[in-house]
Structure formats: C-alpha cells, structure tokens
C-alpha cells in the first residue's frame, strides 16, 4: 500500500520555517483598516508587545473596546510613510495596491524589518499563522501562505476539540517547572508527568481541580523519590 503522507511530503518542500517571534520588548506596526486587520490587532494585544502602532484610513471601523483600552496601542489615521517604520520590529499590513505594497516591503527590507503583507506572497518575509491558544500552549497552523483558508478551517476544528483541560495542565506543569532545578532530571520529571495516560484522561474531562491535584501529587512523589 502506498504511504500517502510520505508521497505528499516528497512532492512538497515547505517555503516557510515556523518559528516563534519573541514579542517582549518589541514594537509591532499594523497597517490597514479592513476587518481582517482589526482581527490581527485583537490577536496582537494577547501577546507581550511593548508597543503596537496601528495606521488606519479615516473610514476604518472603530477598534474593539479591549484594544481601545490597551495602553500599548497607538492609532494613527492616514497612509503609511517610511518614517513610520522607525523603531519598529515587525510589520503586518493589508495593502491592495500592489505598487504601495511593494514600496512598503522595500522599506522594511532596507531596514531589515520582517514584513507580512496579506495575500501578496512576494512582499512577505513571514506568513501569518492561524492560532489556537490554550493557556501557555499556542498551536500554530501555517501553510506558507499557500492555503490560509484551509488553515483557518483547521484552526476552528482544533478549537472545538482541544478543551480547557489542556490550558489548566499547561499552567500547572509550568508552575512545577519553575519550582524544580534546571537539568536533565527536571526534563525527565516533566516528560513523565505529561505523558501519563491518567493525566491525559483528566485533560479530556476538562476537570480543573483534579488536573491540578493530580499533577501536584505526582510531582511530589517523583521529587520525594529523588
């Protein structure tokens, strides 16, 4: 029998390597004013950006209440200019004018700023991923810009299937990790806890109290054994 996945992988060489961009202490610039861009801002405020600047046309719809209240967010009306990129670490834009998109991408590349201009692959150094957040866990579904619509569908499916139990377990294990000294023993302890079938069963039940209790008890037993 032909291994379908193996054959697909042979035919496809990924164009983008998925990595996590560190947002702490960084400045994000969002350019554009359509619904998807405002969605990008809603995502952005959930990350630890130091500053978020948004450049919108005067006709753009108002920002959501949470974004308006976020002290890191600065909104400017008008068109983006080269000086708007000063001090910026990442640019996400929606520019339907190909000449303007090419110009902005050129400014970014001259300043060595990674840029994503939605739906214009030649102007992108990075591709936006569909995200599923569960506490400290962040699942990223990327297609290298080829099939973002399918990535979005998969995100919605995962959101339905991955319950809050995963977030609770992640938070509890993160607390245990901070408590234990660094080294191979900590790594093996956490791996042993995370791979337990008992824990996975509790995660599926989304039982916060029992998940936390099980992790604390199991970690204590492993620590005492050491």
Given 102, 128, 154, the domain boundary residue is 128
Do 26 and 122 lie in a common domain? Answer: yes
What local confidence, expressed as pLDDT, does residue 1 receive?
A: 46
What mean pLDDT is reported for the chain?
A: 86
CB 86 within 8 A of CB 75: no
**pLDDT tops 50 at residue 191:** yes
Do 121 and 175 lie in a common domain? Answer: no
Do 32 and 119 lie in a common domain? Answer: yes
- Please indicate, yes or no, if residue 31 is contained in any of the structural domains: yes
- Please indicate, yes or no, if residue 103 is contained in any of the structural domains: yes
What local confidence, expressed as pLDDT, does residue 14 receive?
A: 75
- Please indicate, yes or no, if residue 86 is contained in any of the structural domains: yes
What local confidence, expressed as pLDDT, does residue 188 receive?
A: 86
- Please indicate, yes or no, if residue 139 is contained in any of the structural domains: no
Do 124 and 220 lie in a common domain? Answer: no
**pLDDT tops 80 at residue 2:** no
Do 25 and 124 lie in a common domain? Answer: yes
Average pLDDT over residues 138-144: 84
- Please indicate, yes or no, if residue 147 is contained in any of the structural domains: no
Do 122 and 63 lie in a common domain? Answer: yes
pTM: 0.78
Whichever domain contains 113, its CATH number is 3.40.50.720
Do 81 and 178 lie in a common domain? Answer: no
Which residues are CB-contacts of 85 (< 8 A; sequence separation ≥ 6)?
A: 29, 91, 107, 108, 111, 113
- Report the C-alpha gap between 79 and 195 in whole angstroms: 51
Do 56 and 104 lie in a common domain? Answer: yes
**pLDDT tops 90 at residue 182:** no
- Please indicate, yes or no, if residue 142 is contained in any of the structural domains: no
Do 181 and 118 lie in a common domain? Answer: no
Number of domains forming the structure of the chain: 2
Given 107, 128, 149, the domain boundary residue is 128
Average pLDDT over residues 71-95: 94
Q: Containing domain of residue 211, as a range?
A: 164-225
Do 187 and 122 lie in a common domain? Answer: no
Residue percentage of the chain with pLDDT more than 70? 92
CA distances from 153 to 38, 116, 127, 156, 158 (A): 19, 21, 17, 5, 9
- Please indicate, yes or no, if residue 8 is contained in any of the structural domains: no
Do 181 and 86 lie in a common domain? Answer: no
Q: Nearest 5°: phi and psi at 91?
A: -125, 130
Select from 48, 49, 41 the least CA-distant residue to 65.
41
For tokens 């399918």, name the residue. Answer: 150
- Please indicate, yes or no, if residue 97 is contained in any of the structural domains: yes
Average pLDDT over residues 20-24: 93
For tokens 């824990």, name the residue. Answer: 199
Residue percentage of the chain with pLDDT more than 90? 43
């Amino acid at each position: 029998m032909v291994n379908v996945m193996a054959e697909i992988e042979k035919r496809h060489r990924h164009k983008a390597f998925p990595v996590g961009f560190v947002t702490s202490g960084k400045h994000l610039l969002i350019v554009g004013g359509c619904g998807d861009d405002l969605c990008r801002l809603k995502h952005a405020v959930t990350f630890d950006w130091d500053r978020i600047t948004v450049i919108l046309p005067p006709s753009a719809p108002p920002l959501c209440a949470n974004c308006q209240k976020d002290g890191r967010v600065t909104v400017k009306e008008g068109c983006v200019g080269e000086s708007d990129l000063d001090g910026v670490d990442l640019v996400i834009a929606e520019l339907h004018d190909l000449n303007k998109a090419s110009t902005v991408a050129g400014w970014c590349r001259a300043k060595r700023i990674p840029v994503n201009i939605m739906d214009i692959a030649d102007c992108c150094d990075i591709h936006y991923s569909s995200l599923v957040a569960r506490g400290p866990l962040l699942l990223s579904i990327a297609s290298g810009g080829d099939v973002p619509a399918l990535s979005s569908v998969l995100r919605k499916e995962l959101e339905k299937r991955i319950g809050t139990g995963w977030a609770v377990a992640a938070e509890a294990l993160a607390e245990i990790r901070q408590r234990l000294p660094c080294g191979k023993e900590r790594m093996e302890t956490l791996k042993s806890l995370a791979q337990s079938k008992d824990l996975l069963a509790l995660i599926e039940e989304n039982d916060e109290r029992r998940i936390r209790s099980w992790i604390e008890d199991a970690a204590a037993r492993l620590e005492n054994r050491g």
